[in-house]
Amino acid sequence: MAESVKQFVSFTQYDIPPLKSGDYTITATQTLNQGTPDSFVARKRFAVPGSRFKLNGDDILSVLPAPLANGEFAGVMPMVALKRTSLPWQRTSVKSEETAPWLAILMFMGGDHPTLNTNGTAVDVFPKGVTVTVDNSSLTGQGTMPAGYVSHPDMNPLEYGQTPTDPCSFIDIPADMFSKVCPSAADLPYLAHIRTTDTYDTTDNEETSISCAIVLANRWPRPNAEHPDVNAQAFLVSLENMGDLLPGDDGTPSPNLPGDAIVRLICYRAWKFAANDMAERFKDLCEALNHGQNGPGGLTTLRLPADTPEPADVSTALTNQAAGRLTDADADVLVRNGLCLGYTALDHHLREAGTTVSWYRGPLVPYAITPVAYDVAPCSDALLRYDPQTGLFDATYAQAWQLGQLLALHSPSFSVALYHWKQSLQKGVAAQEEMALIQQKLGDGSLLPSFFARRATRLDQLPPVPSDIADWVARLKLLKGVPFSSLVPDEAMLPVESLRFFHLDMNWIAALVDGAFSIGRAGVDGAQRDVNALAETHSAAQMSARRQRKNQHPHLAARVAAAANAEFEVVTGFLLRSQLVSGWPLLRIKGFADTEGLTDLTPLRFERLSNDVLLCLFEGEVKMITIHEPPAQLHCGVEWDGQQYTTTLRDLTDQADLGQQLDGGTIAVAVRPDGQTLQVADTARLIQSHLKTGFGQNIDPFTSAEFAVEMVQGAVKVEFKVQ
């Protein structure tokens, strides 16, 4: 089921830094009451570094539409979410308007794509023959841009930290096309804003809120029926110092731009998408999860695809196997039953020469497994299980134990801390035994009672579990650091565009932690000491495990505190492999203990394991999850009613209905003659006027924040229920 959902997000007009990027000089003058000289001057130069020829690798959080996406994107204004909130205003595009961003998104359709060069350098945006210098440096270079090209003016000399050989990507656009697609100087201030939202239902984060800068395009794809060439390409470009070359509000070329010129712009990101009738928008992707070749009804639990055998057939096959009359049909039933239980058959290299095939199942299983009492194992082989009827090992828990030991050895901080703690425990036990022997020899304890009484009291308390050990084990219990191949041993268990629910096998976790704890274990006495120490460590790690998420919702704090160090009774979750993860990195997830969504579960871990795989763990049995379109990534756009493009106004004054669409508030937006480029400033004035005259909302000033609220599309929530 999909429906609109309220989510908190705040919109801010801009984040202009106190000093924009560039080189500065501070001049201090001191005047004295004396004869000549009566004044002294001191100067200090400094630089405010900032991106110019390329952005940092993590500056771009996401783009929309997603790269290579196919969907009904008619009316959708492409956007880029940036990690640094001040980035769009760190440089100047229009000298007379400091709120105008220097970054812009240009969108092209069909064969109108500009030429993109990704192997250029800084000198390629300077005219050929011009000497490119660096402020306060002897570095120089020669411009290479051919005659007839125009680019960013007033960038010579380069700023401190820049060089003529800095890598630079750029696009070349004919002047008429540039004027057609580029925002005007009046449009730019409305095409960037800040969004702030909480992170409670997103991936694990150190912060409880996140802010990002949003840059919007001023164009959109047309409806498919009106534009047969559906391929679109978007470019995040620099408009630094380009104010005098920008077109008019209706796309009229600037008189300062020669009509036959080629405009060269620095480009930071380029991506393609297609506006068609395929289902790769947020809602469509959610509803297409788990669709196999035959449509809906695919697997929903984490296991290999196999037809589930009838219980009677499994019982018959087991009976025939025990009697030694197993048929091919019986073998097929047992194999399919094993696959349905989450197992897969893997090559097994034995310790002695030889190989075999063994069953293996990771900790994420398609059914609930009852925890059993666990002691300690001397080695991984002790946890191998052998079926003499089939001649196959079950290496599940043996592999978990071995993996835990390897992970512990791979962590010097944990292994050293564990070794020292075990040594202190051993010394404490030895001292206790010594004290018991002394008390036995002293009889009534009349010799030096004060000294021995104090010593006995001090030795009653053995060293507690160090916090760094408890925290490391807590992370291990949440599968942090466990290789993905151990969680999902076969790719067919988690195909593309799939959502797979699971139960966490606490017996697998116990073997994993025991393997990690086995470092330094020697002899029967060492094993016995480890039994007690391991129990204490599990207890100490439980509280830490529940507090691993720093962005836990405040209303869950009391629940987490009440659970304290109690062992997990049930942990469930899901794996999501989809374009949803890569296209919407701020995806919001909630888990519920009922199918009505009344009782939410405590999230233990939300983490992206790769670009398109998300792992979620909940304490308790999940019966339903909701996947929300993230508010920070809600796209802006317009609607096509068959004759014109429109938008529906939202309430900007009533706190109870803030952001809600207003009945009867649909208005036509101002569009350039090409029919797909928004006259942004004119539309902003139209919206401001209609809010005042039609609804009594006098919004002044009307900034990019208000404009974004009015143009943003509704959020989507999709529910998945566990049957």
Percent of the chain at pLDDT > 90 equals: 53
CA distance 619 to 603: 6
Say which residue, 121 or 566, is predicted with more confidence: 121
Percent of the chain at pLDDT > 70 equals: 91
* Spatial CB neighbours of 266, under 8 Å, sequence gap ≥ 6: 52, 53, 125, 152, 168, 169, 170, 237, 238, 240
- pLDDT tens-digit series, residues 379-418: 888 999 887 767 788 999 999 999 999 999 999 999 999 8
Give the pLDDT of residue 103. Answer: 97
Whether the per-residue pLDDT at 60 is higher than 80: the answer is yes
* Confidence label for 307 from pLDDT (cuts 50, 70 and 90): confident
As given in the structure block, the two tokens for residue 524 are 């029967």
* Confidence label for 2 from pLDDT (cuts 50, 70 and 90): very low
Give the pLDDT of residue 479. Answer: 96
Whether the per-residue pLDDT at 684 is higher than 60: the answer is yes
DSSP 54-98: S--TTSEEEEESPTT-EE--TTEE-EEEESSTTGGGSS-SSTT-T
* Spatial CB neighbours of 189, under 8 Å, sequence gap ≥ 6: 97, 99, 100, 101, 703, 704
Whether the per-residue pLDDT at 460 is higher than 80: the answer is no
Section 198-223 average pLDDT: 91
* Spatial CB neighbours of 177, under 8 Å, sequence gap ≥ 6: 108, 112, 114
Give the pLDDT of residue 714. Answer: 80
As given in the structure block, the two tokens for residue 343 are 């197992």
State the CB neighbour count (10 A cutoff) for residue 525: 10
Whether the per-residue pLDDT at 679 is higher than 70: the answer is yes
* CA distances, 615 to each of 261, 393, 641 (Å): 52, 29, 40
H-helix segments, 411-448? 412-442
Q: In the beta sheet, which residues pair with residue 91?
A: none
Query: DSSP class of residue 292?
Result: B
CA distance 273 to 262: 25
* Spatial CB neighbours of 29, under 8 Å, sequence gap ≥ 6: 39, 40, 41
Give the pLDDT of residue 1. Answer: 40
CA distance 266 to 102: 11
Section 570-584 average pLDDT: 93
Q: Can you give the pTM of this predicted structure?
A: 0.87
638: closest CA among 687, 685, 604, 592? Answer: 687
Whether the per-residue pLDDT at 427 is higher than 90: the answer is no
Whether the per-residue pLDDT at 216 is higher than 50: the answer is yes
CA distance 31 to 693: 59
CA distance 656 to 343: 53
Preceding omega of 37 cis (within 30 degrees of 0): yes
Give the pLDDT of residue 226. Answer: 53
As given in the structure block, the two tokens for residue 87 are 């980035």
Whether the per-residue pLDDT at 295 is higher than 70: the answer is no
Whether the per-residue pLDDT at 227 is higher than 60: the answer is no
Preceding omega of 65 cis (within 30 degrees of 0): yes
Instruction: Give how far the C-alpha of residue 651 lies from the chain's centroid of Cα atoms, to the nearest Å.
Output: 31
Give the pLDDT of residue 486. Answer: 95
Highest average pLDDT, of 453-467, 497-511, 550-564, comes from 497-511
Query: DSSP class of residue 615?
Result: E
The rounded mean pLDDT for the chain is 88
Whether the per-residue pLDDT at 563 is higher than 80: the answer is yes
As given in the structure block, the two tokens for residue 671 are 């569009």
Say which residue, 3 or 301, is predicted with more confidence: 301
H-helix segments, 478-522? 484-487, 506-517
CA distance 250 to 176: 13
Q: Which of 199-208, 302-311, 317-326, 632-641 has the lowest mean pLDDT?
A: 317-326
Give the pLDDT of residue 135. Answer: 86
Section 567-584 average pLDDT: 93
> What is the SS3 assignment for 273?
strand
Section 25-29 average pLDDT: 91
714: closest CA among 62, 106, 200, 2? Answer: 2
> What is the SS3 assignment for 343?
coil
Give the pLDDT of residue 434. Answer: 66
> What is the SS3 assignment for 636?
strand
CA distance 654 to 713: 19
19: closest CA among 138, 158, 159? Answer: 159
Cβ atoms 199, 210 nearer than 8 A: yes
N-term to C-term CA, the chain? 14
Say which residue, 588 or 293, is predicted with more confidence: 588
As given in the structure block, the two tokens for residue 81 are 């979410």
Say which residue, 533 or 359, is predicted with more confidence: 359
Whether the per-residue pLDDT at 162 is higher than 50: the answer is yes
Say which residue, 276 or 197, is predicted with more confidence: 197
Whether the per-residue pLDDT at 523 is higher than 70: the answer is no
Give the pLDDT of residue 5. Answer: 47
HSE-up (13 A, CA, CB side) for residue 476: 30
Residue with tokens 């009613």: 641
Say which residue, 40 or 525, is predicted with more confidence: 40
CA 558, 564, 567, 573 dihedral sign is positive
- pLDDT tens-digit series, residues 128-160: 999 999 988 888 999 999 999 999 999 999 998
Helical (H) or strand (E) element with 347: strand 344-349
Highest average pLDDT, of 470-474, 524-528, 628-632, comes from 470-474
